[in-house]
Amino acid sequence: MLTDNDILIIQKKVGGTLTAKEEDLFRELTASNPEAGKLYKELLNVQRTLRDDVSGIPDVDVTGDVMATIKRKSTVKNVFLAGWKRYYAYAALVVLVFTLGVLAANYLIPPLGTWNNEELAGTMAGQHAASFKDHEEGIEIEMEKYRNEGLLVYMLFVTSRDSLNVEFVPGQEHSEILYFKRIWPGNEPEALLEQNHNEDLVCGENAIFTLANPPVDSEMFFSKNGKLIHKIMF
Amino acid sequence: MKDEKKIIELILAGRTAYYGILVERYQNPVFRVIFRIVSQYDDARELTQDVFVKAYESLNQYNPDYRFFSWIYRIAINRALRYIRSRKPYVPLEKIPQREGIATEDASFDFKTREGLVNEAVSALKEQYKTVVLLKYYADLSYEEIAQVLEIPEKTVKSRLFDARMLLKDKLSKNLQYVD
């Protein structure tokens, strides 16, 4: 029967970290206990198998692609942020919300026949939902919400001196479509969130996020270098 | 570490080309770790690219008191684990080991079968064991370096690695006898 200390000696032998004294102990152990020898061979086999697996993985060269992507993103950023003004963001917002409204009307809402003015009026108007400022951290967040029957969309305008991590944590179980996306700068792939799945995006300087249909008890965390700066609850 | 600190200072000062040095230095260890998690070459390649681009975009968040590799590996592991959580379960046909009618003359088939078994065994480990195995064998880090990446004591790294080996021993010795 092997003791914990015996197993420790064998593990250290496999890992190549035995002291000279421990080497002697190992030799005595394997000479006197067949079980120790067997365990040593089995663990050595694990090590060999893993190392063989590693050596079978082909090399990859992504340097060129990474640098090209960085250069492309940097060029776009310089062009669009050279004269960044908040009203450009609102212009993008109007276009986006109009597009979402058309999509929602066409695909999510049953045909209503004739739309009268009362039904149309006010569906595209945004409501101020929340705002947050921290001058010391250099962060400003404004959130507006838009409702068009069947679709609730939040727009978050984030201005930050430093890069932020933005993490969205869905709340209760949801059966509806749920999207979280950064639409400025660049265009992050749309994250269709499943149950218990968090999405983590990076935001630097200025960014706009959209969030559609967040379930109750969802939370969004804004953090910098692992430090939580602000939290929004839905 | 000093040269990396200097390289990062230059990158943050606008000398973007220096980032290529870091990519070249770490792309293969990062790729191997990601590959063993996602098991698909093209996906792993794309994720590796993604990790380095994201790391560049977040470089001003990087704390120079810590080594660059500990930061990049943390991003890589989190990214890969998040990817497989969002991916629908899929097992390519060639990765399913077959126990009967194996053409033993075909060495490449045996390798794929062995690779599939290793992948299955490592994937089945709990995350705390999987990450130390990946960082020790696939990223080839020392115990001290793994402790830095995972922000846990070195003693805990060794203990987890020892436990992982014991778990893998049971899984691999049971299944590899069919291959050999």
Q: Give the pLDDT of residue A117.
A: 41
In chain A, the number of structural domains is: 2
What is the rounded CA–CA span in Å between residue A180 and residue A76?
22
Chain B environment of A7 (Cβ under 8 Å) = 162, 166
Chain B environment of A52 (Cβ under 8 Å) = 114
B57 interfaces chain A, CB cutoff of 8 Å = yes
- Half-sphere exposure of residue A126, counting CA atoms within 13 Å on the CB side? 18
Q: Could A47 and B165 be called an inter-chain contact, meaning their C-beta atoms sit closer than 8 Å?
A: yes
CATH number of the domain where residue B34 is located? 1.10.1740.10
Same domain, yes or no: A24 and A104: no
- Average pLDDT per run of 10 along chain B, which is 180 residues long? 82 91 94 92 95 92 83 91 76 53 44 73 91 94 91 93 93 60
Contacts of B70 (CB under 8 A, 6+ apart): B145, B148, B149
Same domain, yes or no: A210 and A101: yes
- Are B35 and B41 in contact by the 8 Å Cβ rule? The answer is yes
Q: Give the pLDDT of residue A69.
A: 92
Same domain, yes or no: B100 and B171: yes
Q: Give the pLDDT of residue B51.
A: 96
Of B17, B48, B115, the CB nearest to A56: B115
Chain B environment of A170 (Cβ under 8 Å) = none
Same domain, yes or no: A222 and A174: yes
The CA dihedral of B46, B51, B53, B56, to the nearest 10 degrees, is -170
pLDDT exceeds 70 at position A175: no
Whether the link from the prior residue into B29 is cis, omega within 30° of 0, is: no
What is the rounded CA–CA span in Å between residue B110 and residue B116?
10
Same domain, yes or no: A39 and A73: no
Same domain, yes or no: A90 and A51: no
Q: Give the pLDDT of residue A147.
A: 73
| Nearest residue to A139 via CA among A219, A222, A81 | A222
C-alpha dist (Å) from residue A62 to A15, B24, B47, B151:
32, 8, 10, 28
What mean pLDDT is reported for chain A?
74
Same domain, yes or no: B1 and B85: yes
Same domain, yes or no: B86 and B104: no
Same domain, yes or no: B134 and B113: yes
More confident residue, A199 or B21: B21
Select the residue from B52, B151, B171 to test the A interface by mutation, using most A Cβ atoms within 10 A: B52
More confident residue, B27 or A207: B27
pLDDT exceeds 70 at position A90: no
Same domain, yes or no: B66 and B111: no
> Rounded to 5 degrees, what angle do the CA atoms A197, A202, A206 make?
130
Of A46, A50, A163, the CB nearest to B58: A163
- Are B44 and B34 in contact by the 8 Å Cβ rule? The answer is yes
Domain boundaries, position B80: 1-90
How close B136 comes to chain A (CA, Å)? Answer: 10
Contacts of B71 (CB under 8 A, 6+ apart): B55, B62, B63
Q: Provide the terminal-to-terminal Cα distance of chain A, rounded to the nearest Å.
A: 57
Q: Of B29, B64, B90, which marks where a domain is finished?
A: B90
Q: Give the pLDDT of residue A30.
A: 94
What is the rounded CA–CA span in Å between residue B84 and residue B76?
12
Q: Of B74, B90, B106, which marks where a domain is finished?
A: B90
Same domain, yes or no: B102 and B172: yes
- Are B39 and B47 in contact by the 8 Å Cβ rule? The answer is no
pLDDT exceeds 70 at position A82: no
Give me the residues of B, 122-151, that contact A with CB < 8 A.
122, 133, 137-138, 140
Q: In 10 A of CB B77, how many CB atoms?
A: 23
Domain boundaries, position A15: 4-55
Residue B125 DSSP symbol: S
Q: Which of A6-10, A118-122, B85-89 has the lowest mean pLDDT?
A: A118-122
Chain A environment of B23 (Cβ under 8 Å) = 62-63, 66-67
Q: Give the pLDDT of residue B2.
A: 64
For chain A, what is the HEC assignment? CCCHHHHHHHHHHHHCCCCHHHHHHHHHHHHHCHHHHHHHHHHHHHHHHHHHHHHCCCCCCCHHHHHHHHHHHHHHHHHHHCCCCHHHHHHHHHHHHHHHHHHHHHHHCCCCCCCCHHHHCCCCCCEEEEEEEECCCCEEEEEEEEEECCEEEEEEEEEECCCEEEEEECCCCCCCCCEEEEEECCCCCCEECCCCCCEEEEECCEEEEEEECCCCCCEEEEEECCEEEEEEEC
How close A62 comes to chain B (CA, Å)? Answer: 6
Q: How far is CA A117 from its chain centroid?
A: 41
Q: Provide the terminal-to-terminal Cα distance of chain B, rounded to the nearest Å.
A: 44
Mean pLDDT comparison of A93-107, A174-188, B103-117, B122-136, highest-scoring range: B122-136
Same domain, yes or no: B17 and B51: yes
CATH number of the domain where residue B145 is located? 1.10.10.10
How close B139 comes to chain A (CA, Å)? Answer: 9
For chain A, the residues whose C-beta falls within 8 A of a C-beta of chain B are 7-8, 11, 14-15, 42-43, 45-47, 49-54, 56-63, 65-67, 69-71, 73-74, 162-163, 165, 194, 197, 200, 202, 204, 224-225
Same domain, yes or no: A48 and A80: no
pLDDT tens profile B4-43: 888 998 998 888 999 999 999 999 999 999 999 998 899 9
Q: How confident is the model at residue A120 (pLDDT cuts 50, 70, 90)?
A: very low
Same domain, yes or no: A115 and A155: yes
How close A144 comes to chain B (CA, Å)? Answer: 27
Beta bridge partners of A212: A153, A179
What is the rounded CA–CA span in Å between residue A164 and residue A233?
18
How close B101 comes to chain A (CA, Å)? Answer: 23
Q: Give the pLDDT of residue A160.
A: 79
pLDDT tens profile A126-147: 677 788 888 777 888 888 887 7
How close B49 comes to chain A (CA, Å)? Answer: 6
Amino acid (one-letter) located at B15: R
Q: Roughly what angle, to the nearest 10 degrees, separates helices A4-15 and B154-179? A: 80
In chain B, the number of structural domains is: 2
What is the rounded CA–CA span in Å between residue B61 and residue B44?
25
Q: Give the pLDDT of residue B95.
A: 56
Of A15, A62, A163, the CB nearest to B23: A62
pLDDT average, residue stretch A115-129 = 50
Q: Could B52 and A162 be called an inter-chain contact, meaning their C-beta atoms sit closer than 8 Å?
A: no
Q: In 10 A of CB A80, how many CB atoms?
A: 14
Same domain, yes or no: B165 and B113: yes
More confident residue, A113 or A130: A130
